[in-house]
Chains A and B, each alone.
Chain A
């Protein structure tokens, strides 16, 4: 049922320590990579067709190939461990159970793009996780997998763990770069893209934790092997998290393309007693919800969820039972994005606030019929009009909830005596 590439040794409590990791074949991939031309490593990443696991799904190998070969500037690798999209908790699991595969993945990426300084940007609230990573990084330094001349080669690599301080927007890659530079995490206009002018205006690769942590497998087994798994457009495996009232919430690694209901019923054990499935948010709170009928058609892949008007996002599935108000769910989501808007673009700063205020009014039973049109109108005015995608991330679920549950919204704005 599960397909364990990344999670193969997670049952082993020693795997998180260097000794255990080495016993399970750890750090063989970086040794192999260091014996290859950097371009050949990029080629493997490209062939894997691995799409970035942070939510946007940009092909990882392609991202690496954008880093200029000839430049006088230093190059940087930044690992995005700012996991904050509501419903998403897979990277935290990787850090808990497999920190060395992340470090090894970072080393592989650094070799591929010829960078000598890498950062892990971890969200500030992950204090315990930061300690776990700090310990693993120290082990890697002590045994020559990081630092001067890694694995006995002439290749140097510094890895710095950098803690955020509580701001969802720092998960946006250029917001993250600003934050790493010691500033407010307000995203930058693109272009220039980070590959040419990123951290400290130098070429920078930014990859999600999961993207990097699976790289050792890709290097050892070959990108083509990885691409054989999953579907042609969604290759490989994916860590999928599931939360809400299901019997076995948690993170599971599956081959892409698994039917959504198979995942929910068989891996997550189905709904807890007395609860019936009402809706599913498939990929973190910015992805539009699916009805039970759509869930029957859905597969866990980029293309299947796109086709259904939603998205794979971070693959953080949130299951809503049918006795939970979709109006309340959307109010919580709207509150989140209003709270997290960094405030620099007007359509986002004002739009997220209006969505929240209007939803709050409707949830309190004080909504009016024209509020629904206004919600659509505000959402349309937010999308594609801002520096980063936070405004879109707030507008998508709003439009999705309106589209998917028109009756619930109609009912919510109808005066009680008229219902």
Chain B
């Protein structure tokens, strides 16, 4: 297993911009996770070597932040907000609908993935779009002012 050459080039550019090597760790992990889908032990090892920092320094960061995954996740990661503003606007009903529709259990940090590997359903805390609650994020995109009908339409239209 190796890092992609174009990722290595991007890492080199990051190392030139940041005052310290380790400071590039978060951006590097974002890049590498995009390539591999998740951060396995092997990938952590590669990152540690590339940045010339201890493996433990990589592991502790990977396990601290919720957006770094230690296991494969679905093609679409549905992150449904269940914090207060979204709860007030009916988030629980929407999450139950998603659980029912997808046949998986939602959980905090990382929820279950559908058998076909298409969806992972995670409950997340406030995503900072409370004025348009209830909301959820699917991969990079925010979906706002949701209703059950809207969610169904969004899921059906995903490639």
Within A126-146, the residues touching B (CB, 8 Å) are 126-128
A167 touches B142 (CB 8 A): no
Question: Given the complex of chains A and B, what is the CA–CA distance between A257 and B142 in angstroms?
Answer: 33
Q: Which residues of B, 17-64, contact A by the 8 Å Cβ criterion?
A: 17-20, 22-27, 29-30, 53, 57, 60-61, 64
Q: Which residue of B lies closest to A81 (CB)?
A: B128
Dominant secondary structure of chain B at its interface with chain A: mixed
- B67 is an interface residue with CB less than 8 A from chain A: yes
By the criterion CB–CB under 8 Å, are B140 and A333 in contact? no
A88 with B22: CB separation less than 8 A: no
Q: Which residue on chain B has the smallest CB distance to residue A241?
A: B131
Query: Chain B residues with Cβ under 8 A from A180's Cβ?
Result: 23
In this complex, the interface size class of chain A, counting residues with CB under 8 Å from chain B, is 35 or more
Taking a contact as CB atoms under 8 Å apart, the answer to whether B128 and A123 are in contact is: yes
Considering only CB atoms, which chain A residue lies closest to B91 in the complex?
A: A332
In angstroms, how far is the closest chain B Cβ from the Cβ of A118?
Answer: 12
Q: Which of A89, A165, A243 is close to B65, meaning CB atoms less than 8 Å apart?
A: A165
* Mask: chain B, 142-159; 1 = CB below 8 Å from A; 0 = not: 100000000000000000
CA distance A124 to B79 in the complex (A): 13
- The 8 A CB mask of B3-27 against A (1 = contact, 0 = none) is 0000000000000011110111111
B20 and A182 within 8 A (CB): yes
- Per-residue CB contact flags for chain A residues 95-128 toward chain B (1 = under 8 Å, else 0) read 0000000000000000000000100000111111
Q: Is B102 an interface residue (CB 8 A)?
A: no
* A249 interface neighbour in B24, B67, B132, Cβ under 8 Å: B132
Q: Which residue of B has the minimal Cβ distance to A252?
A: B131
Interface residues of A in 392-409 (CB under 8 A from B): none
A66 close to B (CB within 8 Å): no
With CB as the reference atom, state the residue of chain B lying closest to A268.
B131
Write the nearest CB–CB distance from A259 to chain B, whole angstroms.
21
Q: How many angstroms from the CA of A86 to the CA of B126 in the assembled complex?
A: 5
Query: Which residues of B pack against A, CB within 8 Å?
Result: 17-20, 22-27, 29-30, 53, 57, 60-61, 64-68, 79, 82-85, 87-89, 108, 124-133, 137, 140-142
Residue contacts A-B, CB under 8 angstroms, 14 given: A86-B85, A87-B85, A88-B126, A91-B128, A125-B128, A163-B30, A165-B29, A184-B61, A185-B65, A244-B89, A249-B132, A285-B84, A319-B88, A321-B88
